[in-house]
Structure 1
Amino acid sequence: MDMKDLCAIARRERQQHIRTVLATVVHVEGHAYRKEGVSMILTEDGRHYGTISPGCLEEDLCGRVVSAWNSSTVQIIDYDMRPADDLSWGENIGCGGWLQILLEPVRGELENILDILDRRLEQGQVVRLTRSFSANGPQVDYILSSPGAAGTEIQLTGSMEEMPSPSADSQPLILAHDYAAEYVHANFHQQANHQFTFIRTYRAKPRLVLIGAGDDSQLVSSLAQAAGFHVVIGDWRGALCTTERFPGAVCVTGFPGELYTAISPQTGDYILLMSHNFPREREWIEHIQDCPYTYLGIMGSSERTRRLFEGLPYYPYVHSPVGLSIGADGPDEIAISIAAELIAVKRDRKLSAKEELSHVYRRTGTGSR
Structure 2
Amino acid sequence: MKELIDIVAAYDIAAKQGKKTALATVVQVEGSAYRRAGARMLITEDGQLTGAISGGCLEGDALRKARLVILQQEPMLVTYDTTDDDDAKLGVGLGCNGIIHILIEPISGEPNNPIRLLKTVVNGRRNAVLVTLFSVEDRKAPQPGTCLSLTENELLLNRLEGLAHQAQIIDDAKRVMADQRSETKFYNNGITYTAFVEFVKPLISLVVVGAGNDAIPLTKLAAVLGWDTTVIDGRPNYALPERFPSAQKIIVAKPGQALSHISINEHTAFVLMTHNYNYELALLKELLPLQLSYVGVLGPKKKLARLLAEIEDSGQQITEEQLKNIYGPVGLDIGSEGAEEIALSIVAEIKAVLSKRKGNSLKYKPASIHAPHLATIG
Letter in 1 for 2:144: V
How far apart, in 2, do the equivalents of 1:72 and 1:107 lie? 8
How far apart, in 2, do the equivalents of 1:90 and 1:243 lie? 48
- State the 1:323 CA deviation: 0.9
- TM-superposition CA deviations, 1:25-64 (whole Å, max 9, x none): 0111122112111112122222211222222222322233
Aligned in 2, Cα 1:334/1:210: closer, same or farther, shift over 3 Å?
Answer: same
Q: 1:201 aligns with which of 199, 202, 210?
A: 199
1:341 maps to 349
Letter in 1 for 2:169: P
- State the 1:324 CA deviation: 0.9
- Alignment of 1:308 with 2:307, yes or no, is yes
TM-score (norm 1): 0.80
- Alignment of 1:28 with 2:29, yes or no, is yes
TM-score (norm 2): 0.78
- State the 1:164 CA deviation: 4.7
The structure in which a higher percent of residues are helix is 2
- State the 1:343 CA deviation: 1.6
Aligned residues: 335
- Alignment of 1:262 with 2:256, yes or no, is no
How far apart, in 1, do the equivalents of 2:261 and 2:152 lie? 30
2:208 maps to 210
- Alignment of 1:144 with 2:141, yes or no, is no
Letter in 1 for 2:235: R
- State the 1:94 CA deviation: 3.6
Aligned in 2, Cα 1:110/1:302: closer, same or farther, shift over 3 Å?
Answer: farther
How far apart, in 2, do the equivalents of 1:237 and 1:89 lie? 59
Q: Which runs of 5+ in 1 are unaligned?
A: 170-174, 353-369
1:59 maps to 60
- Contact 1:26–1:188 (Cα < 8 Å) also in 2: no
- Contact 2:74–2:105 (Cα < 8 Å) also in 1: no
Aligned in 2, Cα 1:147/1:246: closer, same or farther, shift over 3 Å?
Answer: closer
2:81 maps to 80
How far apart, in 2, do the equivalents of 1:59 and 1:3 lie? 20
1:122 maps to 123
Letter in 2 for 1:40: M
1:298 maps to 297
Aligned in 2, Cα 1:287/1:72: closer, same or farther, shift over 3 Å?
Answer: closer
1:189 maps to 186
Letter in 2 for 1:14: A
Q: Percent identity?
A: 31
Letter in 1 for 2:344: I
Aligned in 2, Cα 1:303/1:168: closer, same or farther, shift over 3 Å?
Answer: same
- State the 1:292 CA deviation: 3.0
How far apart, in 1, do the equivalents of 2:226 and 2:93 lie? 28
Aligned structure 1 segments of 4 or more residues deviating by more than 6 angstroms? none
Aligned in 2, Cα 1:244/1:21: closer, same or farther, shift over 3 Å?
Answer: farther
SS for the counterpart of 1:22 is strand
Letter in 2 for 1:238: P
Q: Which runs of 5+ in 2 are unaligned?
A: 312-316, 361-378
- State the 1:119 CA deviation: 4.1
How far apart, in 2, do the equivalents of 1:239 and 1:19 lie? 47
- Alignment of 1:329 with 2:337, yes or no, is yes
1:235 maps to 233
- Alignment of 1:221 with 2:219, yes or no, is yes
SS for the counterpart of 2:182 is strand
Letter in 1 for 2:20: R
- Contact 2:112–2:159 (Cα < 8 Å) also in 1: no
- State the 1:112 CA deviation: 4.3
- Contact 1:208–1:271 (Cα < 8 Å) also in 2: yes
How far apart, in 1, do the equivalents of 2:225 and 2:96 lie? 22
SS for the counterpart of 1:311 is helix
How far apart, in 1, do the equivalents of 2:94 and 2:221 lie? 26
- Contact 1:252–1:259 (Cα < 8 Å) also in 2: yes
Aligned in 2, Cα 1:265/1:241: closer, same or farther, shift over 3 Å?
Answer: same
CA RMSD of aligned residues (A): 3.1
